[in-house]
Chains A and B, each alone.
Chain A
């Protein structure tokens, strides 16, 4: 009697489900952080990588100060930073200043920050692309 041949095979149809599930999982869980859309041309320089949990101060080319992306005057900026520092004592102040501004703007800001005890600062340079 002739036996019928049975081909051994691994079912791979569920593999597609797993792959798409992974793809959708990463698409749903990934968060794209978009910075405030301020027309800032940051200085070029060799800097160190900065973490996310920081206080951001922007200064545009018209010398307007921004706390995050909210335009504020100098006094308001300092009081907001002071309040934030009390909540996050280890936070660093990231200064994103337009590259054409004169140094005296930074110096003035440094003086204010020193007065409120915000000693950890960083001057943010141009963003660099990084691949996986």
Chain B
């Protein structure tokens, strides 16, 4: 009498496939880098806006002459920094009683945009508000 054999189903275990898929998913999530556009936000004055009168003692000027930066105010006097690094290092030592005062970044026309952006960024990062950018006529 012939013995009937039980048919065995062959199968490949797919359990580890999900591990592989999630590993890939996590790898791409961790390894991917997003480039974020950053910039210095500025609002230009309106075309027909009339200039406001401000007390001179409340205005702080940051004059940029190529690499040199001069911080000046009626009460503070003039502080001269020979380059941007020295200016950024000493910015925290400049005592300004109120960050809501008016700050004017004045740039000479031949100053590189890089230097203007560095000064503007440093001044903004200190928390100063009311900053204007102007052309400095020597």
Contact = CB atoms under 8 A, between A and B. Distances in A.
A106 B116 contact: yes
Q: Which of B20, B37, B111, B122 has the most CB of A within 10 A?
A: B37
Contact of B117 (A12, A44, A118, A128): A44
B37 A46 contact: no
B118 A45 contact: yes
A97 B122 CA distance: 19
Nearest to B108: A103
Interface string B71-109: 000000000000000000000000000000000000111
Contacts of A120: 41, 43-44
B114 to A, nearest CB: 4
A122 B40 contact: yes
Contact of A20 (B21, B44, B118): B21
Interface string B12-49: 00110110111011001110111111111111111100
Contacts of A70: none
Contacts of B108: 103
B125 A46 contact: yes
A125 to B, nearest CB: 5
Nearest to B24: A23
A132 B34 contact: yes
A33 B20 CA distance: 29
A95 to B, nearest CB: 8
A24 B13 CA distance: 22
Contacts of A28: none
B18 A128 contact: no
A47 interface: yes
B110 interface: yes
Contacts of A102: 109-113
B41 to A, nearest CB: 5
Given A114-B44, A124-B38, 17 more contacts: A16-B18, A19-B22, A20-B21, A23-B24, A43-B118, A45-B40, A48-B40, A52-B37, A103-B109, A104-B110, A107-B107, A114-B46, A127-B35, A127-B36, A129-B35, A130-B36, A132-B30
23 contacts: A12-B18, A15-B17, A16-B20, A43-B113, A43-B117, A45-B120, A46-B122, A47-B41, A94-B39, A99-B113, A103-B109, A106-B116, A113-B44, A117-B46, A119-B43, A119-B45, A124-B38, A129-B33, A129-B34, A130-B33, A130-B34, A131-B32, A131-B34
User: Across chains A and B, which 5 residue pairs bring their CB atoms closest together, nearest first?
Assistant: A19-B21, A16-B17, A15-B18, A45-B121, A47-B38
